[in-house]
Structure 1
Amino acid sequence: MKIVATNIGERREIDWKGKIVTTGIFKFPVDEPIFLDVEDVKGDAICNREKHGGIDQAVYAFSEKHYEYFKELYPDLEWELGMFGENLTLSDCEESELHVGDTFKVGETIVEVTKPRQPCMKLGVRFNNMKIVKQFWNTDKSGVYFKVLQTGYVKKGDVFELIKTDKTKPTIADVYNEKRLKKNM
Structure 2
Amino acid sequence: MVAITEICIGLPHPFNGAELSAIDKRPVAGAVAIRSFGIEGDMVADTVHHGGVDMAVHHYPHDHYTAWNEWLGGHELLARAAAFGENLMSTGLTETQVHIGDRFRLGSALLEVSQPRKPCWKIEHRFARKGMVARIIKQHNCGWYYRVIEEGEAQADDVLECVETGHSEWSVARLFAKFYDPAHRASRDEIEEMAELERLSPAMRDKIRAKLAS
TM-score when normalising by structure 1:
0.90
Partner of 1:148: 148
Matches of 1:115 and 1:167 in 2, distance apart? 12
Partner of 1:83: 83
Compared CA separation, residues 169 and 32, structure 1 to 2 (3 A):
same
Which SS does the other structure have where 2:65 is aligned? Answer: helix
Partner of 1:49: 47
Structure 1: state its 5+ residue gaps.
none
Matches of 1:73 and 1:101 in 2, distance apart? 31
Q: Contact conserved, 2:101 with 2:113, CA < 8 A, in 1?
A: yes
Alignment pair present for 1:98 and 2:98 = yes
Deviations 1:67-97 (A, max 9, x none): 1111112234212110001000112222111
Partner of 2:69: 71
Structure 2: state its 5+ residue gaps.
186-214
Partner of 2:191: none
Compared CA separation, residues 52 and 128, structure 1 to 2 (3 A):
same
Which SS does the other structure have where 1:22 is aligned? Answer: strand
Which SS does the other structure have where 2:177 is aligned? Answer: helix
Q: Which runs of 4+ in 1 moved over 6 A?
A: none
Which SS does the other structure have where 2:18 is aligned? Answer: strand
Deviations 1:97-153 (A, max 9, x none): 111111111101000111111111111122122322222222121111111011122
Partner of 1:5: 6
Query: Alpha carbon RMSD of aligned pairs, Å?
Result: 1.9
Report which structure shows greater RCO (CA 8 Å, sep ≥6). Answer: 1
* The one of 56, 59, 62 aligned to 2:60: 62
Partner of 1:162: 162
Matches of 2:7 and 2:173 in 1, distance apart? 23
Matches of 2:116 and 2:51 in 1, distance apart? 13
Matches of 1:135 and 1:173 in 2, distance apart? 14
Which SS does the other structure have where 1:81 is aligned? Answer: coil
Matches of 1:167 and 1:45 in 2, distance apart? 29
Matches of 1:77 and 1:108 in 2, distance apart? 35
Question: How many corresponding residue pairs?
Answer: 182
More helix by share: 2
Matches of 1:166 and 1:21 in 2, distance apart? 37
Q: Contact conserved, 2:103 with 2:166, CA < 8 A, in 1?
A: no
- Output aligned runs, 1:125-144, within 5 Å: 125-144=125-144
Deviations 1:8-48 (A, max 9, x none): 1121112x4xx432101011222222322102221112001
Matches of 1:166 and 1:10 in 2, distance apart? 32
Matches of 1:182 and 1:101 in 2, distance apart? 24
Alignment pair present for 1:29 and 2:27 = yes
